[in-house]
Amino acid sequence: MRARLFAFTALIGLSIGIAILKSSADKDEEWTVISIGLPDRIEPKSAMANMGYYILKQTHEPLFRETGPGLFNSKILLSWDRNASNTLFRICPALGKSFDSGRPFTARTLVQHLSKSIRELKKNAAIKTSDDCVVIEFEKPFNAFFKTFSQYEFAPSVPSSDPRWEIGLGPFQVVSKDKSSLTLQKKEFGEGHFNSIRFLDYSGPTDPILQDRSVEDFNRVLLKDQPDWLKHDMKMFDVSLLQTVNLFINIKDPMVRALIFQCMPIHEFRKAFMNGQLNFSDVDGVIPVGVGHARRKMVAQNCKRASVERGDESLRFINWNTGNEENLKRVFEELEERTGLKISTAAVTTADFIRDVFGRRPGYDLYVVAIDAVRPEISPFFEPIVDQRRRLLDFGPILDTRMNLLENASGDAAADLASEINQEILDSHVVLPLYQEMRTFYYPRKMKGNSTGRNFLEYPEVAELKP
């Protein structure tokens, strides 16, 4: 009897053991992302590009997080206060935060970080430490202090031993990088969590990695290249992205810009560029519907047939998409017929495009850029166009003063100001809004910790997810 009982107990124990082992084996603790155009260097500045932002959200932590309209909180500060005129700020780092094992986040490192950031922001301020806190006294009121330091571009960061990446205060840090892949590892291993993240650039629609069903995140992949099985195998989240896709007209001659702006057939062009995608959500400016006064309608165009004498010189359209050459050619021929402007197409890889567009932009006359933000704010949509420090083109108006006003405004006043800036951008013809991105996001069915609204779907915080 006793032997039978022992055998039964052993069998139960074995079953439980196998179940636990199987469960552990089933849980893939690496979050894999199919990426498109990894940045050359992982640093706070990379936040301006989509993939850079995705990576920084894992590796860095800004001083503040905006948890509601104008309301800020922090994961790395213990406390903060300010004076009524917003010239004096006192911020105290939380204990126990560190970049890596040898470099804790202290008042001293915070002073270094703030000094550098304030220089970049071209602000005059005196910074000193006081009782493990940092006191910053600005010459003039800095109303956008919290908003500015809630951006990943101003997240605390220190150099690593490898010049290709920096280390932030996020839960992950870069451990290896090459041209088409990047691996992040969690600083503190967590049982039952994703402990590493791998970004893999895909080379095109035929890349076999697109058929790898162990990949968690295919949402960076162009819509046309996304595998069909995602719809069946993964959980779908329909998201109206805060993103507009725009044709940047980086041409000095305002007449030429105006011609392209007024006569480029938006319907045909966006359909051709996106390889036959049929459904597009119209938008009447560079800010998407849901932000400010943006409306769901197409930009008003008024194409008067005209001819601009440019000889044999043709404009260059920088094409980072693939398989759309023939369609684009037909659209450009139609435009030439309307305006006499010749447009040639130059194909680039996505990575090259991202590198160039944030750099010197050699021969970049026309190119498509998606502008987005990770929160419903207005200024990030204008920055790539009218902010001298951040814009992705060489011509057109620079509206730093108004942008400052916008950063300090709120509510209806901000929306009104945004409408003015938007109109000025449209009037300058440097950007032709094409459509607002509507996308379905796909995530593994069994994944926990992700929900619309809490963990921003477009750029998940992988540390909060569980396999």
Partner 1 sequence: MNRAHVRHYLNARYMTAAIVFVALLFSISLGSALLGEMASTQRSLSAQSPQIEDAIRQNDLIRAHKMLWPFLNGRVAAIQIEPVAFPSGKISASAPEKPSGILAHQRFELVSNGLHIANVAYSIDITHTAMTVFVDNVGFYLSLALFAAILMGYANSRTASALSFLEKRIILLARSSHRDGASGGQDIAHLADQIQDGTLSPACAESLKQLILAMDEHSKSRTEFAEANTTYEIAKQVAHDIRSPLSALKIATHGLKGMPTERVSLIRQAADRIQSISDDLLAYARRRSEFEHPAENQTNPSPFPLRELVRDIVKEKQVELSGRTNIVIHSKFLDADELFARVDPGQLQRAVSNIVNNAAEAIHADGHIAIELTRVDDKAIITVSDNGMGIPDEIIPLIGRRGYSHGKCGKGATQGNGLGLFQAKQIAERAGGELRIESRIGIGTKISLLLPLASPSSKGTLQ
Which residues contact partner 1 by CB under 8 A? 68-72, 79-84, 89-90, 146, 410-411
List the beta strands (DSSP E) in 202-233.
Answer: none
Cβ distance to partner 1 smaller for residue 146 or 364? 146
Nearest to 45 by CA among 148, 151, 144: 151
Long-range contacts at 227-236 (CB < 8 A, ≥ 24 apart): 230/442, 231/442, 233/445, 234/442, 234/443, 234/444, 234/445, 235/442, 235/443, 235/444, 235/445, 235/447, 236/440, 236/441, 236/442
Q: Which lies closer to partner 1 via its Cβ, residue 133 or residue 289?
A: 133
> Looking at beta carbons only, is 82 or 439 nearer to partner 1?
82
Question: Measured from the CB atom, is 62 or 433 closer to partner 1?
Answer: 62
Residue with smaller CB distance to partner 1, 80 or 172: 80
Using CA atoms, how far apart are residues 409 and 377, in angstroms rounded to an integer? Answer: 11
Q: How far apart are CA 416 and CA 413, in angstroms?
A: 5
Q: How far is the CB of 413 from partner 1 (least distance, A)?
A: 9
What secondary structure letter does DSSP report for 281? B
Q: Which is nearer to partner 1, 146 or 381 (CB)?
A: 146
Closest CB 144 distance from partner 1, rounded Å = 12
Q: H helices within 299-375, ranges in order?
A: 325-339, 350-357
Question: Of 74 and 246, which has the nearer Cβ to partner 1?
Answer: 74
CB atoms within 10 A of CB 71: 10
Distance CA 368, CA 8 (A): 67
Contact criterion met (CB below 8 Å) for 49 and 354: yes
Does residue 234 contact residue 378 with C-beta atoms inside 8 Å?
Answer: no
- Going by their DSSP bridges, the two strands 98-100 and 103-104 should be labelled as antiparallel
Instruction: Please give the Cα distance from 150 to 141 (Å, whole number).
Output: 18
Residue 218 CB-half CA count within 13 A? 28
Q: How far is the CB of 88 from partner 1 (least distance, A)?
A: 10
User: Whole-number minimum distance, CB 71 to partner 1, in Å?
Assistant: 6
Burial class (CB in 10 A: 0-12, 13-18, 19+), 12: exposed
CB of 80 to partner 1, least distance (A): 4
Closest contact distance (angstroms) between CB of 68 and partner 1 is 5
Output 68 or 163, the one with its CB closest to partner 1. 68
Least distance CB 386 / partner 1 (angstroms): 24
As measured in angstroms, the least distance from the Cβ of 143 to partner 1 is 10
Q: Which is nearer to partner 1, 78 or 438 (CB)?
A: 78
Q: How far is the CB of 379 from partner 1 (least distance, A)?
A: 16
